[in-house]
Structure 1
Amino acid sequence: MIRWCRFSANILFFSFLSLLLVCRYAYALLPFVATGLALLAVLYWAFFSPGRWSLDREDVFFLLAMLVFAVLWLGDVLRTGAWPVGEGNQGVWLPLWPLMAAVVMVAWRLAAPQPGFLWWGVAFGAFLAGCIAAYEYWWLGRPRAGNGMNPIPFGNLALLLGSLSLVGLISPYVTRSSLRLVLGLAVLGGLLASVLSGTRGGWVVFPVLILLLVRHVSRSWCESFRGGVVGSVLVLVAVLLAMSLMPGAPVKGRLSQGVANLQDYAGGDAGSSLGVRLEMWRAGWQLIKARPGLGWGEGRLEAQRDSWVDEGRFHQGISRYDQLHSDLVDTFARRGAVGLLSLIALYAVPLWLFWRHWLRGVDEEARALALCGVLVVVGFVGFGLSQSMLRDVRGLSGYLALIVGCWSLLKGRVAGAGLSGR
């Protein structure tokens, strides 16, 4: 049973990471399959092997963060009678996904996937995203690459997959030359997809991710290797800047557009891309002040916002969206201070746990896996400042799959080293 569960976890984890930005329904189909198999495995162990449970105190904290977030979101659905809509009506089951992730985590803690499937998965995912972005931008002539999805989550997730590929590339325990080659191409592919998507939020987060990587190298590698690895990271940063400044790249145009949007907004014109986003945040703050405790709820937030728009208090462009373009603002306005605390816990608990293991220094493999978890959380916190990533179907599924997968791999490695989080 253990061997079969680990085999299925390997295949599903690799498939999800490599296909998330490539196939239209990978964000939902693969997690549903993983949840079904995980539920069967958990039931089997509960009835036939009750002594095999390996959850410790750290796992309980991790699970509680996901469960509380899901329960409060489902409670919000119950009190309002409305489910989240999401882009293209794809988000109706979003509140259930943290529960699904919790089931998968329990099963994967019993039979975790192997680290190689993480590295191959993020490498293929980032590389394919770069290929798609290049094809759409240079061959099809589209102004922003997105593979038929919102360019913002596409660019953010591609950048994150490329950053995780960079962790594998600089990790001394990854020794296979073929994997290192693919990881190197994946880093370039992820950066290229981010640049060609025209996503500004990722460019703000990327320097923070690079600083974390540099700190990891400075603590992990001996002096003879440090200079070369740091130099490689600097070369990659230079490549990113070169991509950003190459003729026809959307970066300069998007930056100039952002400055012009701010000037227009200061002059009273809120109809631009950035102006509408600022209007959404302003409306969100008014919604928060009106109901800070429990918030407005699913559906009711949009109704109140549109009522204020009809009164002329905000620009009508904000009514086109089903969210407020910020996870913090949207969650606070929708589910109040209680909901905001659950979101902070969904970020803070995994970050705290990953950070502890990253600093603990068990071995290079464990620290690399822990760093991956840190990068995922930090990346989503940064992305979520200007985009509701956790109300996007690929954003939420990507976040949950990555933190659960990285945590299961990390705990498997820690258990193999004879340590515990109890």
Structure 2
Amino acid sequence: MNLIVTRHDDRFLRGATRPSASLGGSPGGVWSAINTFLVGGFVALLIVWYWGFAVLPLAALLAASVGFLATLGRCQARLDREDGLLLLALLVFAGVWLVDVLRSGVWPQPLGGDGRWLPLWPALAAGLLVWLRCHTPSARGWLLGLLTATLGAGAIACYERGWIGLARADNSMNAIPFGNLALLLGALSLIAMLGRLGSSRRRARWLTVMLGVAACSGFVASLLSGTRGGWVALPLLFWLIYRSFKPFLPMRHVRGPFIILGTLLILVVCLPQTGVAARLVLAVDDVQRYYMAGETATSLGLRLEMWRGGLALFADRPVTGWGEDRLEAARDARIVTGELDRGVSDYDQLQSDFIDTAARRGMLGVLSLAGLYGVPLLLFSRHLRSAKRAWQRTLALSGIVIVVAFIDFGLSQSLLRDSRGLAGYLGLCTICWTLLKAQAAPFGVESRGVDSVVRAPTS
């Protein structure tokens, strides 16, 4: 693998970074431009177009295959130990899942019917990570993708709730991944906006303003989707973002956006037409009825019943779990004996990534899931602590927020068994990591300058 050292020129303030130079000049620029288009398209269409989660990764796989042959496998970036750890986490998670498929003889079959090959997706992400590290996309794709995704999700949610009159906005897909991903993309837009405010040079102010509007749009889309599990993550994500930017920005730049967002969210919650307040009250009532009267004929009651059953199944087979082919049968056997409510059988998963993984693949599955979350969280946190530049800090914090958000989402929904959920986690993490690694100052080059962070006044 050939190594070419280039000087990274941060153009975050203008919404772009310079793609890496290539062995021979223009060919690398072409592949970087193609990757920029694919990255932007993936982020933009993840929840805006029904098949965006699948078409763009497959197009990226095709481009990577052709590009690898065209460049004879030459790469401009040397994969280091951090890349190796992330690749290992992806491949271990895929490997444990594929071993379970092999022993069971059954592939995952979600009710939506579009997730049959889910165990292969982490391996695909590992391959694309290597390709993107070799031909780094521009940050322009990331930023414009966030704008398109959040503004599009907000418009779709307002149309479905306000014009069509749907009970929950979902863009013809499951409302839970739609709402959760809209919330996450809104948080990433907020981080990008604050990161641009923290740069020492400011250009393309329209992009900074639009990122703020996009953040509001993503949060509103999440609220209108009625996805309560994601709302639990919102205070935590706000705290992470506020705490990370507070030392580096004047307080007016930090407090202002949060005051505006908080006012908007309170307004949306208080309006009875949105149904947000009613769903919050209903959630409290469901929990009370389950624990006080054993009532399971409610949304949260069934979810709590599935968690109880999943933990019992895990206790029966804690090492290897029941497998893809026997979990439902073991669950239904408990329904026959009256240990679980009959309504649990209407679902193809246990409404929690942690519990579902533990019941299906035992401790081996839990450890692989811990690696899938823990390794990126560790790596992004390390870069956040050492970041000297605004764009580095923005990408590192974005990676942390992606992982933390999915951990929270996974507490109340098996989002990694959903095609959009798994594609969203793998794709967003891979893109953030690729862009972040491209910003590392080579061989101790001084990282101050036009992209250094503006520190808040001390008095």
Q: TM-score range by the shorter chain?
A: over 0.9
Residues of 1 paired with 2:425 and 2:357: CA distance?
Answer: 16
Of 167, 171, 181, 1:143 maps to: 167
Of 217, 238, 244, 1:216 maps to: 244
The answer to whether residue 104 in structure 2 is matched with residue 80 in structure 1 is yes
Of 303, 306, 312, 1:286 maps to: 312
The answer to whether residue 282 in structure 2 is matched with residue 254 in structure 1 is no
The answer to whether residue 343 in structure 2 is matched with residue 331 in structure 1 is no
Of 278, 291, 294, 1:268 maps to: 294
Residues of 2 paired with 1:33 and 1:187: CA distance?
Answer: 28
Residues of 1 paired with 2:365 and 2:137: CA distance?
Answer: 32
* CA 353–316 in structure 1, closer or farther in 2 if over 3 Å, else same: same
Q: In structure 2, give the amino acid aligned to 1:216.
A: S
Residues of 1 paired with 2:78 and 2:248: CA distance?
Answer: 29
Alignment-derived partner of residue 57 in structure 2: 31
Residues of 2 paired with 1:351 and 1:289: CA distance?
Answer: 28
Kindly state the Cα deviation for residue 226 of structure 1 after the two structures are TM-superposed.
2.4
Give SS of 1:167's match. Answer: helix
Alignment-derived partner of residue 195 in structure 1: 223
Residues of 2 paired with 1:279 and 1:269: CA distance?
Answer: 10
* Structure 2: runs of 5+ lacking an equivalent: 1-26, 446-459
The answer to whether residue 148 in structure 2 is matched with residue 124 in structure 1 is yes
Q: In structure 2, give the amino acid aligned to 1:362.
A: K
Alignment-derived partner of residue 99 in structure 1: 123
Q: How many residues align?
A: 414
Alignment-derived partner of residue 152 in structure 1: 176
* CA 417–10 in structure 1, closer or farther in 2 if over 3 Å, else same: farther
Q: In structure 1, give the amino acid aligned to 2:241.
A: L
Partners of 1:133 and 1:197 within 8 A in 2 = yes
Q: In structure 2, give the amino acid aligned to 1:115.
A: A
Kindly state the Cα deviation for residue 373 of structure 1 after the two structures are TM-superposed.
0.5
* Structure 1: runs of 5+ lacking an equivalent: none
Q: Would you identify which runs of 4 or more consecutive aligned residues in structure 1 move more than 4 Å?
A: 415-419
Of 382, 393, 399, 1:356 maps to: 382
1:228-243 alignment to 2 at 5 Å? 228-243=253-268
More deviation in 356-365 or 399-408? 356-365
The answer to whether residue 185 in structure 2 is matched with residue 161 in structure 1 is yes
- C-alpha deviations, 1:331-369, integer Å up to 9, x for none? 111100011000011001001100111111221111111
Alignment-derived partner of residue 181 in structure 1: 209
Residue identity (%):
45
For the pair shown, the structure with the greater C-alpha radius of gyration is 2
* CA 62–259 in structure 1, closer or farther in 2 if over 3 Å, else same: same
Alignment-derived partner of residue 403 in structure 1: 429
Partners of 1:39 and 1:104 within 8 A in 2 = no
Partners of 1:285 and 1:333 within 8 A in 2 = yes
The answer to whether residue 417 in structure 2 is matched with residue 391 in structure 1 is yes
Partners of 1:217 and 1:226 within 8 A in 2 = no
More deviation in 165-174 or 335-344? 165-174
Alignment-derived partner of residue 333 in structure 2: 307
Kindly state the Cα deviation for residue 219 of structure 1 after the two structures are TM-superposed.
2.6
Alignment-derived partner of residue 93 in structure 2: 69
Q: Under a length normalisation based on structure 2, what TM-score does the superposition of the two structures give?
A: 0.87
Residues of 1 paired with 2:73 and 2:50: CA distance?
Answer: 38
Residues of 2 paired with 1:392 and 1:105: CA distance?
Answer: 21
Partners of 1:123 and 1:162 within 8 A in 2 = no
* CA 362–140 in structure 1, closer or farther in 2 if over 3 Å, else same: same
Alignment-derived partner of residue 8 in structure 2: none
Residues of 1 paired with 2:190 and 2:78: CA distance?
Answer: 31
Q: In structure 2, give the amino acid aligned to 1:192.
A: V
Kindly state the Cα deviation for residue 415 of structure 1 after the two structures are TM-superposed.
4.7
Q: In structure 2, give the amino acid aligned to 1:181.
A: V
- C-alpha deviations, 1:113-136, integer Å up to 9, x for none? 111211111121011101000000
Give SS of 1:294's match. Answer: coil
- C-alpha deviations, 1:147-191, integer Å up to 9, x for none? 111111111000000000001111133631221232122111101
Alignment-derived partner of residue 381 in structure 1: 407
Partners of 1:169 and 1:184 within 8 A in 2 = yes
Q: In structure 1, give the amino acid aligned to 2:313.
A: L
Residues of 2 paired with 1:54 and 1:303: CA distance?
Answer: 48
- C-alpha deviations, 1:211-240, integer Å up to 9, x for none? 11111212322xxx2233223213212211
Partners of 1:152 and 1:197 within 8 A in 2 = yes
Q: Under a length normalisation based on structure 1, what TM-score does the superposition of the two structures give?
A: 0.95
